[in-house]
Structure 1
């Protein structure tokens, strides 16, 4: 076992048994941990900024260490080249894992750089300005439906009626996907993300494999249709861009399929959970809903605090591209580390009194990652949350929670499956 370098009291990785993290990780996925992970974060950080993982590698818990990994050029995503060097092949050779490894989130330079540059600033100021009026209209319609459900039944599931629908409506319209396909895309996405969990079971990988095959068929057909009938839509534009870069149209279509699938599924669960978690955080904090309703200029502050307090993705993985010292510990090349976004955001050295939801905190968070793989859709997610909160506060002055949220039993994607509200 690698020893922590002397002189750094925050590094205890050489003295912690790798099995010590197992009960904490189980708790993080339990109903208790899904509802309130803060005690688990505290116990993990008490073990040090780097906690040895039972399967090898490390859990990174401190804000500065996580930030260093996300932004450091010597830290890479676990791409195909890394996977081929692993002895544990079942996970890395699984169909769903292999398919996601071809998408932007699992590419390193130079291919990652080439694909990212081809997209440009995907959601720049002008794009967001163009999208805003349609999002405003969409939110109004979804809130009409929410109001109808509350009038009819006394309460309604905000997660199902609003939070899940807004992101798929937004990205689906942007990519010109037929609205009748939205429900199917959501179902495929919910099932596919099992493969992106920390330690997926064989059963979860099988579910993810079926969903991945379904996604591949759907988006391959979508790209084929756009090539046959090009227009002024985003996907047709990507085809034209990549035709100028590739001599083989089939190579273009493969890249555009991967980009389209990735952008679509990356936009859904994370944004939906942000919306539900933001509303839940406000409703569970005494007086917060009324306070923000009287001060809508602080909606953006509330969004950032929700991202810090309860990030939609709790962890992500990187590998050392070379022998690297992290928090005083020598991490050998190819070692995998797991960046614990939630634990980092709750690091009291960065955000004092971290477990309190404080709209005026102006704290720091890593919810959108950092460095070369910073979230492409961060601006769009913030815009959707801002528009939703503006209308929700005006139209539902007495909104209240009718129960605590329900969560999917996952460790990576902190998906809210239900949030019942009344007014």
Structure 2
């Protein structure tokens, strides 16, 4: 239908790889922040409490606020941090696969609930120093809050998200208060010291800390869990492919990249035009919204030949982690979790099989696999 396609509700879908890359990396394309929302005729669309809360998150900020918050984080998952986290992730994967093996002794198991959803919360929870007893609660809240980030949420979905958003704020503001009272050498304590130096007003600093801690936590959960589930589905559903990868582990990184390209955890991300512009030959007026379609871009045959074939040996490209100033903060961490899981799965479960295709939640933006049956 074209690189830029008119959306039924206004705005445009962006489907071509180069056009999507231009939007993600171009400085004249902005996140739909409060300033943009305030200029909209349909301002009521953006008044839902959960929507307004997420508009304060890092992914919805523009310069200079985005620049300030991003710099305060530095590169949280740099090489040294990944090296430090690696043995912890390896131990978590081994423990989760022990649990999987125990369930598989009785027949089949749900890979999602036992492994995919547990590894990301264990990883980010340990890194931030969250109490393990809170992991299940955080997962539950995240599953309910994410509706606010959908393209066209229903009123009932927004109500569910509103309740979850209140719970998120209560949890993370309480966490920051507790960490202030008992600071340590952990990541969150470091962020507190950084923002106390940057912001003289304690209430403003704590509000920023809440947004950062909440966003980093929930942004790393469903996206990585979906990546892990889809990775197992795409690789294990073809027994020959699974066996081949076990014999050629040097292609594990390439396999992960092909999973990311073939079926990204996020399918749509939205931006607005900072000025009147032309995108792939289509005039786009200032303040118009465009929807970057990651899956469509990754399947652009001009960038990836025979794009609908799943090919581990492909040497193409993908936009799954975004681009520009909003490039995914946790890309290296997601790769670490996927790589560690895949290595141990291949070693421990060479005869792993899929029981049935995965079950997905009914979503357009943040995809979530809710069930994936496996056996041996």
What TM-score do the two structures reach when normalised by structure 1?
Answer: 0.88
1:61 is the counterpart of 2:61: no
Q: Verify the 8 A CA contact 2:97 2:115 in the aligned structure 1.
A: yes
1:224 is the counterpart of 2:177: yes
Q: 345, 349, 365: which is aligned to 1:392?
A: 345
1:145 is the counterpart of 2:112: no
**Local SS of the residue matching 1:337:** strand
Question: 1:228-258 deviations in whole A, cap 9, x for unaligned?
Answer: 1111111110010011101111111111110
Match of 2:51 in 1: 97
Residue 89 of structure 1 deviates from its aligned partner by 2.3
4+ residue runs of structure 1 moved beyond 3 angstroms? none
1:76 is the counterpart of 2:30: yes
Separation (CA, whole Å) in 2 of partners of 1:101 and 1:224: 23
Q: Verify the 8 A CA contact 2:321 2:328 in the aligned structure 1.
A: yes
Superposed counterparts of 1:4-43, under 5 Å? none
Superposed counterparts of 1:251-270, under 5 Å? 251-270=204-223
Question: 1:91-118 deviations in whole A, cap 9, x for unaligned?
Answer: 2111001101111000000010010001
Q: Verify the 8 A CA contact 2:16 2:297 in the aligned structure 1.
A: yes
Separation (CA, whole Å) in 2 of partners of 1:70 and 1:208: 27
Superposed counterparts of 1:113-124, under 5 Å? 113-124=67-78
Unpaired runs of 5+ in structure 1? Answer: 1-46
Match of 1:358 in 2: 311
1:280 is the counterpart of 2:280: no
Match of 1:22 in 2: none
Structure 2 CA distance for partners of 1:286 and 1:353, relative to 1, 3 Å: farther
Aligned pairs, number: 376
Residue 286 of structure 1 deviates from its aligned partner by 4.9
Match of 1:411 in 2: 364
RMSD: 0.7
What TM-score do the two structures reach when normalised by structure 2?
Answer: 0.99
Unpaired runs of 5+ in structure 2? Answer: none
Question: 1:302-361 deviations in whole A, cap 9, x for unaligned?
Answer: 000000000000010000011111001110100000000000000111101101110010
Match of 1:213 in 2: 166
Q: 335, 338, 349: which is aligned to 2:288?
A: 335
Q: Verify the 8 A CA contact 2:239 2:353 in the aligned structure 1.
A: no
Separation (CA, whole Å) in 1 of partners of 2:237 and 2:273: 40
1:127 is the counterpart of 2:81: yes
Separation (CA, whole Å) in 1 of partners of 2:98 and 2:315: 33
Separation (CA, whole Å) in 2 of partners of 1:311 and 1:285: 19
Question: 1:371-408 deviations in whole A, cap 9, x for unaligned?
Answer: 00000000000000000000000000100001110000
Match of 1:235 in 2: 188
Separation (CA, whole Å) in 2 of partners of 1:91 and 1:165: 34
Match of 1:306 in 2: 259
Match of 1:31 in 2: none
**Local SS of the residue matching 1:214:** helix
Match of 1:106 in 2: 60
Q: Verify the 8 A CA contact 1:285 1:357 in the aligned structure 2.
A: no
1:178 is the counterpart of 2:131: yes
